[in-house]
């Protein structure tokens, strides 16, 4: 069986993205280069030199545990299907413009501004981001998850509610989560407020924003668009010495292991990654699949 980046990362004691950067000749510290090289040799790893079966994976970040977990699952699934993959993180327009599509056989993307020049040349599947009508997309049931959170908050008796999310400039898939919450609250004739945090700012500025937003307020519940936002809010309200119900969305293994008390919605990350890879493989092997085909997988509530 083909050795995966996950196995190399585990033996080397580094992250999967670090292994991907190493084998794709991107910046890796000399110490980690040595660890990865030794681990690859011990596992008898043989990289695919042809490049004709390499999938490009574009993600907005891997500091969010959701995307790190998604990429790890994607890498494992692609390896089982016979593909290598190259990871690129962030919206680096110069880098994306310089990419030569003939190096890759396909594209998996979650970047909101994925260059159309790439998607026109490469078979593409999107994770959680509507790229164009022609690009198939895989996501969880974001609307249903938002509705589920709102129902739970109301069952807990919350009356003063804040819906809190990241930048207004990129509200996909967050917009569906917000819509699910809002529809539920409006149907039950429950008042709520909305607020946004500039996630492009530094940590200090975020803390200042949170302080201005939350100081002097006494919400019963703060429904956050994702787990990272929820953890920042929980930290801030703890400093303010009051304890509203704070909810998240994503339910990555990291959050479940280290913050088990967070009420959140769990995305089926492994299943989403597997489906994304299967759809791309079908396109590469069969040459087609329905344009704009969207598949949603159900979510589950991780209650206290």
Residue pair 180/141 in contact (Cβ under 8 Å)? The answer is no
Reported as a single tens digit per residue, the pLDDT across 17-55 is: 788 778 766 678 889 999 999 999 999 887 655 445 889
| 202-238 per-residue burial string, b: 16 or more CB within 10 A, e: under 16 | eeeebeebbeebbeeeebebbbbbbbbbbbbbbebbe
The helix/strand/coil state of 160 is coil
Domains of the chain: 5-139+270-296 (3.40.50.2300), 142-266 (3.40.50.2300)
Q: Could you give the C-alpha distances from 144 to 130, 161, 171, 184, 303, in angstroms and in order?
A: 18, 19, 16, 10, 16
Q: What is the pLDDT confidence band of residue 276, given thresholds at 50, 70 and 90?
A: very high
b/e code 115-139 from CB counts within 10 Å (16+ = b): beebbeebbbbbbbbebeeebbbbb
Closest CA to 271 of 249, 296, 301: 296
d(CA 65, CA 117): 29
User: Long-range contacts: 100-105, Cβ < 8 Å, 24+?
Assistant: 103/51, 103/54, 103/56, 104/51, 104/54, 104/55, 104/56, 105/52, 105/53, 105/54, 105/55, 105/284
Please compute the mean of the pLDDT values over residues 271-276 and round it to a whole number.
Answer: 96
The top-scoring range by mean pLDDT among 127-136, 208-217, 255-264, 287-296 is: 255-264
Q: How far apart are CA 88 and CA 77, in angstroms?
A: 18
**77 and 36 Cβ atoms separated by less than 8 Å:** no
| Nearest-angstrom CA–CA distance, 10 and 297 | 29
pLDDT digits (tens, 9 = 90+) for 187-207: 999 999 988 877 666 667 777
pTM (predicted TM-score)? 0.80
């Amino acid at each position: 069986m083909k050795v995966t980046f996950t196995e190399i990362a585990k033996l080397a004691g580094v992250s999967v993205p670090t292994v991907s950067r190493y084998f794709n000749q991107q910046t890796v510290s000399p110490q980690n280069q040595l660890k990865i090289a030794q681990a690859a040799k011990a596992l008898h790893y043989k990289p695919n030199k042809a490049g004709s079966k390499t999938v490009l994976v574009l993600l907005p970040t891997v500091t969010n545990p959701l995307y790190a977990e998604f990429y790890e699952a994607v890498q494992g699934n692609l390896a089982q299907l016979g593909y290598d993959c190259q990871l690129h993180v962030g919206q680096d327009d110069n880098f994306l413009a310089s990419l030569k599509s003939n190096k890759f056989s396909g594209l998996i993307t979650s970047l909101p501004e994925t260059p159309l020049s790439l998607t026109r040349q490469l078979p593409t599947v999107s994770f959680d981001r509507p790229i164009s009508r022609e690009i198939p997309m895989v996501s969880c049931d974001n609307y249903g998850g938002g509705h589920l959170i709102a129902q739970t908050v109301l069952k807990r008796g919350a009356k003063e509610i804040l819906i809190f999310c990241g930048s207004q400039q990129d509200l996909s898939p967050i917009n569906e989560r917000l819509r699910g919450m809002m529809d539920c609250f409006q149907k039950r004739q429950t008042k709520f407020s909305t607020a946004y945090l500039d996630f492009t700012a530094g940590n200090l500025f975020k803390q200042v924003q949170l302080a201005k937003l939350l100081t002097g307020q006494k919400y019963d519940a703060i429904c956050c668009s994702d787990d990272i936002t929820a953890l920042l809010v929980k930290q801030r309200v703890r400093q303010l010495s009051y304890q509203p119900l704070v909810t998240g969305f994503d339910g990555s293994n990291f959050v479940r292991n280290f913050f088990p008390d967070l009420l959140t919605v769990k995305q089926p990350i492994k299943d989403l990654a597997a489906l994304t890879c299967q759809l791309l493989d079908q396109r590469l092997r069969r040459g087609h699949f329905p344009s704009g085909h969207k598949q949603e997988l159900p979510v589950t509530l991780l209650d206290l």
